[in-house]
Structure 1
Amino acid sequence: MNDASHDRARFTAMTEGTQADWQIIASHFVPFAASGGKRILDHLRLLDGDFGGFPVDRLQHSLQTATRAHRDGRPDDYVVMALIHDIGDTLGAYNHPDIAAAIIKPFVSEELHWITAQHGVFQGYYFFHHLGMDRDLRENFRGHPHFEACAEFCEKYDQAAFDPSYDSAPLSFFEPMVMSLFEHPQQSLYARVVDNAA
């Protein structure tokens, strides 16, 4: 039996940790973090076959949203945001935008993060009134610098992405974009660890 414990920190509480312990942990963190795109793709696959009553399943909705954005000439980071905007559906039925926004935050601009975080309220413009809710809740954000960008994302790509006959690109098409985006953060408390390892 191969004992790999020599490649693990030896503390039982962080107060006992040494620089050697944290160098071991950092040596594991860097490759793990760099393969985040693979885990994103794996999680997107969990949306396959999950219709939730919609005309298309959640994966097809995600692919359709991203395909529409790509075909409209959006940059790769925007397309990936469009692809994963509903990735939180399986984990947070009541706050799926927050989950997607937390995942993508270190890797995109403040604008793309804000669109991801607020798209649920903005998307509500198209259906909240059918559920006895205020469809104009997005007006609470009127005047925000990213209001129009979020409204445009929902109008052009998100609310229009439920067409069973739409010819979406497959998930494999987006894989290089996802892998590239999630390889290195733009901003993160831990980005320095990655930079030091490079």
Structure 2
Amino acid sequence: MSSATVIVTGASKGIGFAVVEYLLSQSTNVVAVARSEGSLTSLRSQKNLEILLGDVKEPEIPAKAVRLAIDNFGGLSGLVLNAAIIEASKIADADIERWKTLYNVNVFSLVAFAKEAIPELRKSRGRIVMVSSGASVRAYQAMGAYGSSKAAVNHLTKTLAIEEKDITTIAFRPGVVDTNMQKAIREDCKIPYFR
């Protein structure tokens, strides 16, 4: 593997897109995973970019992403697991099916990507970065689904760190970033400033 290769989920907008742009600027090979191409269209000409369109909660997507990394760039050295959705409702009004969908995206897709990537990351002594949130450690009204999913991400990170000694795994809390999700938090959850 001549240079680093990283899979980024939730790659077409917000934090994910910024991560893709940065990695490409550092000559890192990137497999960008997103439901739609969005802003990624502006990067299509980059030779060190592969775009995989698909929903992270679909069981075949992690394997396809890892296969793209191996086939096109010779291996895999990292994951940035950024894809997430928000469900704004008080627990008394919770739609359990929507909570399950959120957990499929925010938690179970991370498990699936990590599981699929571990054999390659062991070889490269790679890294896994999971995007967490202040909501993982502090309760906010109508944020039970999102906050508890991010708390699960923190625990998953700690578990991977002790199970996979040759892979560096961290959860990263980026702070307030003015993305579409942040707008939804302010409007749907009535939280003026979400930390």
Q: TM-score with structure 1 length normalisation?
A: 0.26
Q: TM-score with structure 2 length normalisation?
A: 0.26
Question: Which structure: larger Rg?
Answer: 1
Q: Using CA pairs below 8 Å that are at least 6 residues apart, which structure has the higher relative contact order?
A: 1
Higher helix residue share: 1
